[in-house]
Amino acid sequence: MSSKNFLQTGILIMCGMSLVGCVSQRSHEQALQELQASQETNTQEIERLQQAVQEKQQEVVQLQQAKNDLEQAVEVQDQIKEQQLATVKKELENLYSQVMGIANRQGGGGPGTKIFDTDSIDYDDINRAFQQVRATLDAQVADFSQLREQNQLLEQELSGLEARLKEVERLKQELAQVREAREIQEAQLAKVKHEVQTVGGEIDRITKALEEKFGKSLMVTQHHDRLVLTMLGQVLFESGEAELTPLGLKIMKQVGQVLASLPEKYIQVEGHTDNNPIYGQLQKRYPTNWELSTARATTVLRYLIEQTGMDRNQLSATGYADTRPVQTNDSEEGRAQNRRVEIVLYPERLVQDNKIVATHTP
């Protein structure tokens, strides 16, 4: 890089970094608002589940009352049945007494004597007694059938009640899980708030300290629970190379000191390129932009480990080639913005849902 080009780059860098401090503060406030909105959504979900549990419990009380009413009805029917059976038994005993009386009268006659004294026997009374007994038995059979149907309905309602009780228990467990998740989220929110205040203040301080030296070659942004340090590739590396330039070494020294002082951070280094293909002799070292982006990310990672003594278990390197541009590749200015290395800081080691094509973890 010529001295003229270097002077021009320095002027552009000094003009761009004056806005970084404000952007970082607004990013902090936006992260807090998003986390508070998520907490309010969980609070509404808990209230909905509590209302559902109360409704289910009221329904269980109503079904339990219906069950008790049915059991009382069955008990009353049993008492009526016993009374009716006792009445029928008494009527049968009376009828049997009448029949025995007729049989005793028959035993007093001789040859040629009438078996029954038709003048003193009321056959209509006997017939009516038998018919009454039969009607009573038919009524008892009908009552038993009705009771059987009622018992079946009761069993069905009891089965439904058990199912509803299981549903209530499930809702209680779900509510407990939501409450537990809410407590965890509140703890995470408090942790993130503290980290945003601590790390944000530190980033603001470092940004102000570096803007005179490096200008907009180093940009700091915040996305939800992570901070992103973006460094332009042409400042860190020569074209097609993966070794740090003298200016890149100065930047990494300052950045490394800051990162080493931050507690409990998982750091991922990401390399990005424009969409220009690798050609000529460079293809022997880097056949495609995948290899070049991964090599640059690995170079930055090795510097952080070897020069700052950071824990290698808290770092990883990833190459994305030209798959994640921040500007269009139709202009040289846009391609310059896409050639970059990003250092992403997470509050804790999270499993990312993005597709990692090439990753190196030492």
SS (H, E, C) 187-245: HHHHHHHHHHHHHHHHHHHHHHHHHHHHHHHEEEEEECCEEEEEEEHHHHECCCCCCEC
User: How would CATH label the architecture of 3-36+191-360?
Assistant: 2-Layer Sandwich (3.30)
Q: What is the mean pLDDT of the chain?
A: 77
pLDDT the model gives residue 243: 93
pLDDT the model gives residue 249: 92
189 versus 176: the higher-pLDDT residue is: 176
Q: What is the dihedral of CA 173, 174, 179, 185, to 10 degrees?
A: 130
Count the alpha carbons within 13 Å of 53 in the hemisphere toward its beta carbon. Answer: 14
3-class SS at 176? Answer: helix
Q: What is the dihedral of CA 249, 361, 228, 321, to 10 degrees?
A: 90
317 strand-pairing partners = 269, 360
pLDDT band at 88; cut points 50, 70, 90: low
359 strand-pairing partners = 318
What sign does the dihedral 24-30-35-36 (CA atoms) show?
Answer: positive
- Cα 137 to Cα 88: distance, rounded to the nearest angstrom: 8
- Cα 206 to Cα 110: distance, rounded to the nearest angstrom: 138
pLDDT the model gives residue 215: 67
- Mean pLDDT, rounded, for 220-239: 84
pLDDT the model gives residue 315: 93
pLDDT band at 214; cut points 50, 70, 90: low
Is the Cβ–Cβ distance between 235 and 247 less than 8 Å?
A: yes
CATH number of 47-185: 1.10.287
Rg for the chain, CA atoms, rounded: 46
- pLDDT, tens only, 275-297: 999 988 889 999 999 999 999 99
Helices (H) then strands (E): counts for the chain: 7, 6
Question: With 0-12 CB in 10 A as exposed, 13-18 as middle and 19+ as buried, what is 348?
Answer: exposed
- Cα 362 to Cα 96: distance, rounded to the nearest angstrom: 106
- Cα 53 to Cα 45: distance, rounded to the nearest angstrom: 12
Locate the domains of the chain by residue range: 3-36+191-360, 47-185
Q: Count the neighbouring beta carbons within 10 Å of the beta carbon of residue 259.
A: 20
Question: With 0-12 CB in 10 A as exposed, 13-18 as middle and 19+ as buried, what is 79?
Answer: exposed
Cβ-Cβ contacts under 8 Å for 229 (sequence gap 6 or more): 218, 219, 220, 255, 342, 343, 344, 345
> Greatest CA span in the chain, whole angstroms?
158
What sign does the dihedral 274-278-281-284 (CA atoms) show?
Answer: positive
pLDDT the model gives residue 290: 96
- Mean pLDDT, rounded, for 262-274: 88
Is the Cβ–Cβ distance between 360 and 291 less than 8 Å?
A: no
Q: Helix 123-214 vs helix 3-16: angle between axes, to the nearest 10 degrees? A: 130
- Mean pLDDT, rounded, for 20-49: 73
pLDDT the model gives residue 77: 76
Q: What is the pTM of this model?
A: 0.45
pLDDT the model gives residue 145: 83
- Mean pLDDT, rounded, for 266-279: 93
Q: Is the confidence at residue 229, as pLDDT, over 70? A: yes
pLDDT the model gives residue 197: 65
pLDDT band at 102; cut points 50, 70, 90: low
- Cα 316 to Cα 167: distance, rounded to the nearest angstrom: 46
- Closest C-alpha among 21, 16, 17, 15 to residue 204: 21
